[in-house]
Amino acid sequence: MSATAAALPDKGKNFSQTRRLWCGNTFLDLTQPVVMGILNITDDSFYDGGRYLTETAVMNRTEQMLAEGARIIDAGAISTRPGSRPLPAEAETERLLPVVKNIVRNFPEALVSVDTYRAEVARAVAGEGAHIINDISGGTMDKTMPATMAKLEAAYVLMHIKGTPENMQQNPEYKDVTKDVGLFFRQQLDQFVKHGKTNIILDPGFGFGKTIAHNYTLLHELESFHDFGYPLLVGVSRKSMIYKALGTNPEEALNGTTVVNTLALERGAHILRVHDVKPAVEAIKIIALLRESRPNA
């Protein structure tokens, strides 16, 4: 056990023992990894901004991702790409509520996640049936998030970020990126657990205030975060850690994304957050077959 985990007063023991996570009114079974499909209802996201701005486009995209094997649909109304600026909370809520309502009504088999760092938005979408709140700030951009989430049944994704989307890629530095992210998890988990929140997912925040080298160090050492006892989400889909490393662009980064997702699965990722659902589902199936073939699997 790492020193980071040993210092944590309250671990996610329930998930460690059952591999199930309470998400709103549904248990999410994570005995096998699952896919979270990205639904950007923005006009400026780094890869697919502007594609899903109408109700028809949103419903068609959701149907496609579910048909390809997504278990979770993650809707976001604000771009968090490097250099992006925030949207007013009222506008964010106005964009999200009809999307959440429509998905919950039309696709009851789906778990609906909402990508927001604002407690008031989290309350509003949870009231319409959202199962997960995906917070890029891990509770640092809205100090009321721990108390708010403790009152909601929705699960909570606690992600690491250094800085804000507007400035996070301006020469980020760490003494030891894995230990520093672990310290952040320990500090922020303490805030949520003190309020009684335990259905939590951890996300190291690939690309959020990290250099390419930082990202690959985190990937290499991903297994260290299992010591916390909470499920791990990995979101690397078409990010610069892939396309810049390969000298391409987001449009050409699918193959690299699949490679990195496969490496993350080998290191125990429970949820893959992706733009391209089918390749991620296939990677999960291949890794499962590989594990089944091992002696004493």
The token pair at 75 is 């809707």
Tokens of 266: 């080998």
Map out the domains of the chain as residue ranges. Answer: 3-293
Phi, psi of 98 (to 5 degrees): -65, -30
Burial class of 125 by CB neighbour count within 10 A (0 to 12, 13 to 18, 19+): buried
Q: Are 253 and 277 in contact (CB under 8 A)?
A: no
> Beta strand pairing status for 26-29 and 20-23?
antiparallel
Per the DSSP assignment, residues forming a β-bridge with 27 are 22
Residues designated as active site: 239, 273
Nearest to 282 by CA among 253, 261, 266: 261
- The pLDDT profile of the chain, 297 residues, written as one tens digit per residue, is 344 444 444 578 889 889 999 999 999 999 999 999 999 887 754 445 556 678 898 999 999 999 999 999 999 988 766 655 677 899 999 999 999 999 999 999 999 999 999 999 999 999 999 999 999 999 999 999 999 999 999 999 999 998 766 666 677 789 999 999 999 999 999 999 999 999 999 999 999 999 999 999 999 999 999 999 999 999 999 999 999 999 999 999 999 999 999 999 999 999 999 999 999 999 999 999 999 988 775
Within 10 angstroms of residue 27's Cβ, the number of other Cβ atoms is 12
| pTM of the full structure | 0.91
CATH number of 3-293: 3.20.20.20
